[in-house]
C-alpha cells in the first residue's frame, strides 16, 4: 500500500492513464473520457486515503470512470450510438465486474490512443502536447518545459487539438501500414519525450519517474514489432535502453544526482548496454546517408556506454556525431550538448564561446549549469556560482537542484 499522499497520487495517476486508454475506445470521445477519468481519480484519492487501496486499483477506476462516462452522456442527452455501444460492449456496466484485465487489450488501447493523438491532420506540436497530457498525465507546465514553450501556449494548443479531434471525428484506431508514415514521426517523438520525463523528471522530489521509463520502453518495443525494419524506431529503442542502463548509478547515498563523469560504471546494466549496442548497429545498417536523429543520438549514447571509464571516452567520435546531429536535427539543445563535448575535447575556453552563442535557452537550467562547469574550469568561480544559482532557480528535480545548490 502506498505510504504517503504523494505515492497514492502517483498510483492513481498511473492507473488512470491505463483506464483512459480503454475508456476512449468504448465511448469514442476523448474529452468525455478524460472528464470521466478525472472524476474517478478525484473519488479514488478521497476514498482510498480513507478506506485503503483496493486489491485491483485499475479495475476500481475502470468501473468508476465508466459509470461516470454514462452519467455524462445522459446529462448531455447523448444516449445515441456512443452510449449504446459503451453499454453493449461492456458487461461490467450491465451489472457485476471482474478484477481481470487483459494485458494485451490494454497495450492495444494505449497504442491506439498514441496514434489517435498523432493523427496527421493535427499540428505536430499539438500531437505531442496532447499525447504527453493524455498518456503521461503531465501538467501544462511540465509539457511546456519538455517542448521549450510556455504553459499558456500549451493550454491553448491542447484546446485546439481536442476540438479538432472532436470536430473531425478522428478514429481511434491503429492505422494500416500505408498510413503509418504520416503519423510515425509524431509517435516516435512522443514516446521519446515520455521517456525523457521519466529518465530526468522536470520537477519534483525524484530524479526519475520509473513508471514512465518502463511505459516508454514498452511502447518503443511495440513500435519496433510493428515496423521491425524501421531505423528510427530501432534507434529510439536503442537510445532509451542505453540511457536507462545507467539507472542504478545516477543517485548517491544522500539522494543527490551523480553526473555521468562520476558514476560507478560497474553499476551499469550490461544486458541493456549489449541490447542497445546491437540495436544501434541494426539501425545504422538500415540508415542511408542521412540517419534519423534517434539513430545518431543512440550512437552517441553507445559511445558513452562502451567507455569503461570517463577518461576513456572517445570525445572526437562524440563531437563528430554531434556535428551530424546538428545537420539532421538542428536545435539549441543539440548545440548545447555539442559545446559540452567540445569542452572535453578542446578545453573550456572554446566550450564557453560556443555556449554563449546558443540562443533561446535562458530559461533552461542545463544551459546555465553547463556554463557553470566550464566557468569553474576557467577559474571564474564567482561567475560559475552565479550560473549555478540561476540553474537551481529554474525548474529541475530536487536531486539535481541539490548538486547545483548544495547549501
**pLDDT tens digits along 93-111:** 333 333 343 444 445 677 7
In this predicted structure, the answer to whether residue 82 has a pLDDT above a threshold of 70 is no
Query: How confident is the model over 128-150, as pLDDT tens digits?
Result: 888 888 776 777 888 888 787 88
- Highest mean pLDDT: which of 83-87, 165-169, 245-249? 245-249
| Residue among 259, 239, 240, 242 nearest 251 (CA) | 259
Across 33-37, 267-271, 365-369, least confident range: 33-37
In this predicted structure, the answer to whether residue 63 has a pLDDT above a threshold of 90 is no
| Structure confidence at residue 331 (pLDDT) | 94
Across 76-90, 257-271, 289-303, least confident range: 76-90
**Distance from C-alpha of 61 to C-alpha of 231, rounded to nearest angstrom:** 38
| Structure confidence at residue 188 (pLDDT) | 94
User: Phi and psi of 169, rounded to 5°?
Assistant: 60, 45
Cβ-Cβ contacts under 8 Å for 380 (sequence gap 6 or more) = none
Classify residue 52 by burial, with Cβ atoms within 10 Å: 0-12, 13-18, 19+: exposed
**Distance from C-alpha of 303 to C-alpha of 317, rounded to nearest angstrom:** 8
Q: Is 188 helix (H, G, I), strand (E, B) or coil?
A: helix
Task: Extract the C-alpha cell encoding 275.
Answer: 541490447
**Based on C-alpha coordinates, what's the Rg of the chain?**
23
**Distance from C-alpha of 226 to C-alpha of 220, rounded to nearest angstrom:** 10
How many Å from the N-terminal Cα to the C-terminal Cα in the chain? 34
Amino acid at each position: 500500500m502506498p505510504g504517503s499522499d504523494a505515492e497514492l497520487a502517483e498510483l492513481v495517476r498511473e492507473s488512470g492513464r491505463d483506464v483512459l486508454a480503454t475508456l476512449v475506445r468504448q465511448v469514442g470521445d476523448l474529452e468525455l473520457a478524460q472528464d470521466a477519468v478525472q472524476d474517478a481519480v478525484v473519488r479514488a484519492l478521497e476514498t482510498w486515503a480513507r478506506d485503503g487501496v483496493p486489491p485491483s486499483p485499475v479495475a476500481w477506476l475502470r468501473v468508476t470512470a465508466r459509470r461516470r462516462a454514462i452519467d455524462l452522456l445522459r446529462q448531455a442527452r447523448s444516449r445515441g450510438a456512443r452510449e449504446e455501444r459503451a453499454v453493449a460492449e461492456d458487461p461490467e456496466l450491465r451489472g457485476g465486474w471482474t478484477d481481470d484485465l487483459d494485458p494485451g487489450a490494454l497495450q492495444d488501447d494505449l497504442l491506439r490512443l498514441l496514434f489517435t493523438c498523432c493523427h496527421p491532420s493535427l499540428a505536430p506540436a499539438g500531437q505531442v502536447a496532447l499525447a504527453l497530457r493524455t498518456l503521461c498525465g503531465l501538467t501544462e507546465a511540465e509539457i511546456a518545459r519538455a517542448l521549450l514553450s510556455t504553459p499558456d501556449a500549451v493550454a491553448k494548443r491542447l484546446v485546439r487539438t481536442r476540438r479538432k479531434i472532436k470536430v473531425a471525428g478522428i478514429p481511434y484506431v491503429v492505422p494500416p501500414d500505408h498510413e503509418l508514415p504520416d503519423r510515425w514521426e509524431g509517435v516516435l517523438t512522443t514516446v521519446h519525450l515520455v521517456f525523457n520525463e521519466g529518465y530526468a523528471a522536470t520537477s519534483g522530489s525524484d530524479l526519475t519517474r520509473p513508471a514512465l521509463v518502463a511505459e516508454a520502453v514498452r511502447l518503443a518495443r511495440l513500435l519496433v514489432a510493428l515496423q521491425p525494419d524501421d531505423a528510427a524506431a530501432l534507434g529510439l529503442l536503442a537510445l532509451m535502453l542505453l540511457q536507462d542502463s545507467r539507472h542504478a548509478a545516477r543517485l548517491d547515498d544522500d539522494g543527490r544526482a551523480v553526473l555521468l563523469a562520476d558514476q560507478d560504471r560497474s553499476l551499469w546494466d550490461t544486458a541493456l548496454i549489449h541490447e542497445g549496442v546491437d540495436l544501434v548497429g541494426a539501425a545504422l545498417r538500415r540508415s542511408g546517408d542521412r540517419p534519423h536523429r534517434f539513430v545518431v543520438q543512440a550512437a552517441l549514447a553507445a559511445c558513452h556506454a562502451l567507455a569503461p571509464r570517463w577518461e576513456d571516452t572517445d570525445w572526437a567520435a562524440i563531437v563528430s556525431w554531434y556535428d551530424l546531429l546538428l545537420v539532421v536535427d538542428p536545435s539549441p539543445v543539440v548545440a548545447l550538448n555539442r559545446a559540452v563535448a567540445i569542452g572535453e575535447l578542446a578545453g573550456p575556453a572554446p566550450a564557453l564561446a560556443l555556449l554563449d552563442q546558443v540562443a533561446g535557452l535562458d530559461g533552461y537550467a542545463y544551459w546555465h549549469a553547463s556554463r557553470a562547469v566550464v566557468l569553474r574550469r576557467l577559474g571564474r568561480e564567482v561567475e560559475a556560482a552565479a550560473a549555478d544559482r540561476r540553474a537551481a532557480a529554474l525548474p529541475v528535480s530536487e536531486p539535481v537542484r541539490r548538486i547545483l545548490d548544495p547549501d
